[in-house]
Structure 1
């Protein structure tokens, strides 16, 4: 039925028009022969998801015999191929199969297809041309690893191959030498019996930070609906620089921090996670060279090396030199830099069961413990954040609320002196009586912002603002800000507009300045624009920037960055 109902692109011209004419949604095209059984199976899945993703994606099918030029251009030689485009650009996705250009097999899981489409769309809106699939599909086949010597060849599973490369890469942290590891591999012994797990609970595997942490200043505290930061109760502006701990150069970190401080910003939100299922190739460059944790079915492995937590060590160390404080989060809802997808790939949970699965919870809490105990003595930490934009799509909101209670309570047991927040986007539910019941107010992402704000072990609330991604106009953003301010006033907690941005490179003033004016006229304690772009780093800033980035020393930065930061600090308490 799907092959019949889905819209068909019958000529090359129609394919071109479909790709070029869509401005706001991801274009998904299934190439193949309509009568092929594989295509029919794939089309049935695409038909079922088309209505569910219509707000951010449009799905077409195309018979390759009708478009011979595209067949050659895209090497459409598989029975079924699904490709993705955004604003006339081909979007690539790393499925773990070695082919980032296309999905060239039948994906019969409806939710997995939705997750892939949403992940690619999210990356596209942030200006990325390549994203990482929410699930690693490399385990679809076994991989052959040949160990030369004694003419022995072993057939290894993906997890065994992962473990081999992991210990090859991190051998200095293993209490076994590489010789014994290779012996185990040559003998085809299961790696889970041949090797010990590297865990943050092990003193051998948990060396201390390599940089000192300043005790000057004081830990941030709640002061009514504002914050006391180093003895001052005031409104302030901050920013996001997710990539800061993924820079290899101390000079680049210092340059970025000095420019952030010169702006008048007080708080920076930085990714405190960097998850992967396999170590990145040594040929990678910043920010894709650094990783903090490897996850596979044999366990969780913390990277304490120079391309691991030592980079986060330096960021925490350097922040104090510039009078800045950091928000560090522990996991990503999205697949960028691992995220929940890295857990699901390793431990067979899902993006929704992650919040209740005992194995995922244990590994996640182990990582939380590693980070919190490592930096809890530093006054450079503003807050611990449970995750970046946690969602539990289609779940009862009580699931994520319970998770937030459990994890925030656990963090407070490790560190009672720093603030804790959730890191969500601020979704309301129909029961709140706010809004019109549309997407942001419908509770479909499993978040009840009002209920979560009332959790005693969460010190303040945050919300995000991306109207174009959610199907709203830009002026609606002012209403969104006022609604969260109103609830914050009722509950009596500080609120931060933690992320906001619009997809207009170097032309953000028209859409974002009105939001900043609304924040200034409200009781919102602070805002953090997405995101800061440095000037003069050895790594080109556009590599880790996106369409929302405002770059230091540009004309718009004087308004949205420096000007707004000064206005927030001048605001009367």
Structure 2
């Protein structure tokens, strides 16, 4: 009897030790952001934020300009930077890239890429992440792009699958998936111990189509993107048990009840709701290793055929509806939601529309708000003028502007985000 009691005590002690170990393993290290229901948590306290999109920051050549940009972000109350964890080029671009100082992390010359972890490569990303930490800013890193910009998913398609393939081959070809995962392992293993990382993002704006058209394997109801999200998020979690993971998606729904609009007497099924894009925001957010939802907001471009004089369609009203729908979906999933990108062109549009969009995101308890995109004046490298790539350039000391950038001297727009940052800070610990 005494022996049995001794055994029982041993088993109980071991069970308590295992349970305690599991709790310790699940507890994020100091400085790492986690989630609790629909909120982010940092070191045991709520963490809500206004953030900045800046793909161009790792492309700057002068540390003084990088420091000045982070200082301006810090002064605006920005707590999270979202930027690209990818910059890939074709081998034919290598000589030009070296000559111009272009930042690049991958070089494609064959069916596999070569890593550049040197001073013009990942060491620049190291510097951005380290500098962000010194200014109290955490970083969301995207692993690749749905679009061709700066070497996205279609470089994998073109080099591995070859010409003539459709965009969705990126999600199905096992050689492509393996190559993508090799890069994911490189980035995650490089930074997985850093508290400066906020989250990993699987891909920017995944769709069935990209600059290449879609194929027959990615159609409404196929669940192809959902399965891809699941596989990749499971991989990242196996590599890194603590940092958050998200899709980077635009937030397209797949609703069984049809949503659409009339155009010139014809009923048009709405791309944002009919599953043609490939996403299913509700199902994707429910995935075990997707920690929070992201969505984007560009109705001025998505509905350009409706945004015309005399139309009863307004981009402001549509945006308010889109914000509310994602807030409801996130509440149902009991996970945080981030309005990760949004934009309109025209200063008058920004001044009129942004206050209402941001107020609606705040009133629906969005955990994060990131306008596209942060603009910086007073950059000094190359005399303030330098062509970077494509049409991206520094012009008279201003960072690249695709029509959506907002700058500190645009005081009415700037104050929308600084005021929101104060509200989010008041909700944080």
Short-chain TM bin: 0.7 to 0.9
Alignment of 1:482-501 (within 5 A): 482-501=324-343
2:299 to 464, 467, 473: 467
Distance 1:439 1:288 in 2: 40
2:182 to 349, 362, 366: 366
3-state SS, counterpart of residue 419 of structure 2: helix
Asked if 1:511 corresponds to 2:343, the answer is no
Q: Which residue of 2 aligns with 1:346?
A: 159
3-state SS, counterpart of residue 141 of structure 2: strand
Q: Which sits farther off after the overlay, 506-515 or 443-452?
A: 506-515
3-state SS, counterpart of residue 412 of structure 1: helix
Q: Which residue of 1 aligns with 2:407?
A: 551
3-state SS, counterpart of residue 445 of structure 1: coil
Q: Which residue of 1 aligns with 2:237?
A: 412
1:273 to 86, 90, 98: 86
Distance 2:286 2:29 in 1: 32
Q: Which residue of 1 aligns with 2:139?
A: 326
- Tell me which stretches of 4 or more aligned residues in structure 1 moved more than 6 Å: 285-288, 432-436
Alignment check: 8 A CA contact 2:45 2:428 kept: no
Alignment of 1:151-166 (within 5 A): none
Instruction: Please state how far the C-alpha of 1:568 moved relative to its aligned partner.
Output: 2.5
Q: Judging changes above 3 Å, is the alpha-carbon distance between structure 1 residues 298 and 427 closer, same or farther for their aligned structure 2 residues?
A: closer
1:564 to 420, 423, 427: 420
Distance 1:403 1:560 in 2: 37
Alignment check: 8 A CA contact 1:532 1:551 kept: yes
Q: Whose radius of gyration is greater, 1 or 2? A: 1
Instruction: Please state how far the C-alpha of 1:570 moved relative to its aligned partner.
Output: 2.6
CA-to-partner distance for each residue in 1:378-429, whole Å, 9 max, x for gaps? 0000000001001114513411100000000000011011000000000011
3-state SS, counterpart of residue 280 of structure 1: helix
Distance 1:296 1:469 in 2: 35
Distance 1:482 1:368 in 2: 33
Alignment check: 8 A CA contact 1:294 1:301 kept: yes
Q: Which residue of 1 aligns with 2:72?
A: 259
1:424 to 241, 249, 252: 249
Instruction: Please state how far the C-alpha of 1:296 moved relative to its aligned partner.
Output: 3.3
Instruction: Please state how far the C-alpha of 1:281 moved relative to its aligned partner.
Output: 5.5
After TM superposition, the score normalised by the length of structure 1 is: 0.59
How many aligned positions are there? 359
Asked if 1:382 corresponds to 2:207, the answer is no
Asked if 1:224 corresponds to 2:37, the answer is yes
Alignment check: 8 A CA contact 2:35 2:291 kept: yes
Alignment of 1:88-103 (within 5 A): none
Instruction: Please state how far the C-alpha of 1:257 moved relative to its aligned partner.
Output: 1.0
Q: Which residue of 2 aligns with 1:315?
A: 128
Asked if 1:439 corresponds to 2:252, the answer is no
Distance 2:98 2:398 in 1: 14
Q: Judging changes above 3 Å, is the alpha-carbon distance between structure 1 residues 451 and 519 closer, same or farther for their aligned structure 2 residues?
A: same
CA-to-partner distance for each residue in 1:143-186, whole Å, 9 max, x for gaps? xxxxxxxxxxxxxxxxxxxxxxxxxxxxxxxxxxxxxxxxxxxx
Alignment check: 8 A CA contact 2:379 2:399 kept: no
CA-to-partner distance for each residue in 1:306-356, whole Å, 9 max, x for gaps? 111111010111111001100000110011101012112211253111101
Task: Give unmatched runs, 5+ long, in structure 2.
Answer: 1-27, 262-268, 307-313, 385-393
Greater relative CO (CA pairs within 8 A, separation 6+) = 2
Please provide the CA RMSD for this pair: 2.4
Distance 1:439 1:350 in 2: 19
Alignment check: 8 A CA contact 2:259 2:270 kept: no
Alignment check: 8 A CA contact 1:219 1:417 kept: yes
Instruction: Please state how far the C-alpha of 1:556 moved relative to its aligned partner.
Output: 3.0
Task: Give unmatched runs, 5+ long, in structure 1.
Answer: 1-214
Q: Which residue of 1 aligns with 2:282?
A: 450
2:172 to 353, 356, 361: 356
Alignment check: 8 A CA contact 1:428 1:440 kept: yes
Alignment check: 8 A CA contact 1:264 1:562 kept: yes
CA-to-partner distance for each residue in 1:419-471, whole Å, 9 max, x for gaps? 00000000011327777751211111111111101000110000000001110
Alignment check: 8 A CA contact 1:369 1:414 kept: yes
